Amino acid sequence: MQLKEETTSMVKNNKNNDWIKLLLDNFIWIIVVAVFAFFSFQMPERFFTLPNFVNVLLHASVLGVLVIGQAIVLLTGNFDLSAEGVLSLTTILAMWLMAEPRTDAGGAQASGWMLHPFIVIPIMFMVGILSGWIIGMFITRLKMNGFIVTLAMQLVLRGIALIISEGQIMTGSPALFNWLGGTRIRGFPVSVGVTLLMYLVVNYLLNQSKFGRNLRAVGANRDAARASGFDPNKTITRAYMISGFLGAFAGWMLLGRLETSISSLGEGMTLETVAASVIGGVSLKGGLGSVGGAFAGVMLLSIIDNALNLMDVDPFWVQAVRGFIILLALLIEAQKFRYKPKVVHEKDERIAAVELESKA
């Protein structure tokens, strides 16, 4: 009897909280809209225009693709600091494989093979996937720290790019290759459409598929995931392989837009991918969050970048202002946990108690 009452009161309580929960779960989107509205009123003529909106999305596309990978790796409770290295190496490698040899003196020489983009693009993907696989092996088989492994991988990949390009700009990618990054259909960039589509599909898949369950279970509690029949090592390795693939994909996209690459391409994007994911509600501890949420983080960063650019903020100040706004967004985001149902932190204390008990 008492049991029943307890249940019904809990259910009732829950119903009341339903809309609050919905609001809190999507709170980051409210921030995005608020920031968007703020800049729109501030600069109606420059910010609130269709071309500029397309610009914001264009800026969001390459970052967005990288963030999908980062969010997937974060869901498993790991970091990927290597993706910008993948982006750098794959673009340089692509240029080296397909660009026409230069006739002028100086500058980096391509291989002269002038491979067809349909061959080059799969090679880029394979490099990204291979890099992810190597990282996965280091972390899961050799039990190395993911933070260090991926950081080192970033340096290695960028280093190889530097060697190939001899530190020079490589330019002139073929039109067929540039289709993804450079084409617009009725003024709307293909890359933006592809990115949005990617988010829809990946978000749906990760929320509905076995692999999505697997990722989050492994990230939230690796031991329990293993004891529930998952293979954490395989899962983590796969997450890195996906992230590597997306790094290469982002490279294809960016190179298509710029038609030029240099080994330092994408420098500093790693931090942005982590920031966007976390702003979007992906837990650094793993297991919680979604790719869709991370997209809100991407949009927020893009809008801020775009607006600061339009407002002619002194370039020396841009970094600081951006950092400040990111901090503010995170601060507001963090406050929502105050209004969540009271979470009993049983895990930590109980584990401590069990551990103590087992020592006795």
Partner 1 sequence: MNKVAIKTETVLQMKGISKAFPGVQALRQVDLTVLPGEIHGLVGKNGAGKTTLMAVLMGLQEPNEGTIQIDSTEYTSMNPTEALDAGIAYVPQHVAMMDSLTVAENILAGDLPKTKFGLVDWKKVNDEAQKRLDMLNLKLDVTKKVEGLEVAEQTMLAIAKALFGDAKLIILDEPTAPLSRAEINRLFAFVKSLKEKGASFIYISHHLEEVFEICDRVTVLRDGRVVGTENVKDIDIPKLIVMMVGEDVEDYSRESSCTDEVVFVLENLARRGYYEDINLEVKKGEVVGITGLQGCGSEQLGKGLFGLEYRGVGNVKIHGEEFIAKEPIDSFNQGLAYLPQDRYRYGLVGVRPVKENVTYPILDRLVRLINLVNRSEEKKIVDEYIEGLEIVTPNQDQPVRLLSGGNQQKVVFAKLATTRPAVLIIHEPTQGVDVRAKMDIFRIIDEMASQGVAIIVISSEIRELIGICDRILVMNNGRITEEFEKGDKATTPENILDAIEGGNNKHG
Rounded to a whole number of angstroms, the minimum distance from the CB of residue 5 to partner 1 is: 11
- Rule CB under 8 A: which of 173-232 touch partner 1? 205, 208-211, 213-214, 216-217, 220-221, 223-231
- Helix (H) / strand (E) element for 348: namely helix 346-359
Single-letter residue type at 302: S
For residues 21 and 46, which CB has a smaller minimum distance to partner 1 in the complex?
21
Residue positions counted in the chain: 360
Binding residues for partner 1, total number by CB under 8 A? 45
As measured in angstroms, the least distance from the Cβ of 215 to partner 1 is: 11
Question: Which residue lies nearer to partner 1 by CB, 16 or 103?
Answer: 16
Q: At what angle do helices 232-258 and 117-140 cross, to 10 degrees?
A: 150
Buried-exposed string 81-118: b where 16+ CB fall within 10 A, e elsewhere: bbbbbbbbbbbbbbbbbbbeebeeeeebebeeeebebe
Q: Which is nearer to partner 1, 110 or 217 (CB)?
A: 217
Task: Give the DSSP letter of residue 102.
Answer: P
Nearer to partner 1, 169 or 220 (CB): 220
Positions 11 through 30 that interact with partner 1 (CB under 8 A): 11, 13-14
Q: Which stretch binds partner 1 (CB under 8 A): 8-16, 147-155, 312-320, 321-329?
A: 8-16
Residues 6+ apart with CB under 8 A from 2: none
List binders of partner 1 among 228-267 (CB under 8 A): 228-231
Q: Which is nearer to partner 1, 89 or 215 (CB)?
A: 215
Q: Are 264 and 240 in contact (CB under 8 A)?
A: no
Which residue, 251 or 281, has its beta carbon nearer to partner 1? 281
Site for partner 1 in 300-359 (CB under 8 A): 341, 343-347, 349-351, 353-354, 356-359
For partner 1, the closer of residues 165 and 214 by Cβ is 214
Q: How far is the CB of 282 from partner 1 (least distance, A)?
A: 13
Question: Restricting to residues 96-115, which ones interact with partner 1 according to CB under 8 A?
Answer: none
* Residue (184 or 285) nearer to partner 1, CB: 285
What is the per-residue burial (b if ≥16 Cβ within 10 Å, else e) of 126-139? ebbbebbebbbebb
- Judge residue 162's burial from the number of C-beta atoms within 10 Å of its C-beta, 0-12 exposed, 13-18 middle, 19 or more buried: middle
Q: Which residues contact 47 (CB under 8 A, 6 or more apart)?
A: 39, 40, 306, 307, 310
Q: Does 284 bind partner 1 (CB under 8 A)?
A: no
Cβ 137 to partner 1 shortest distance, Å: 18
Q: Other CB atoms closer than 10 Å to residue 335's CB: what's the count? A: 11
Q: Which residues of the shown chain bind partner 1 in the complex (CB under 8 A)?
A: 3, 6-7, 10-11, 13-14, 205, 208-211, 213-214, 216-217, 220-221, 223-231, 287-288, 341, 343-347, 349-351, 353-354, 356-360
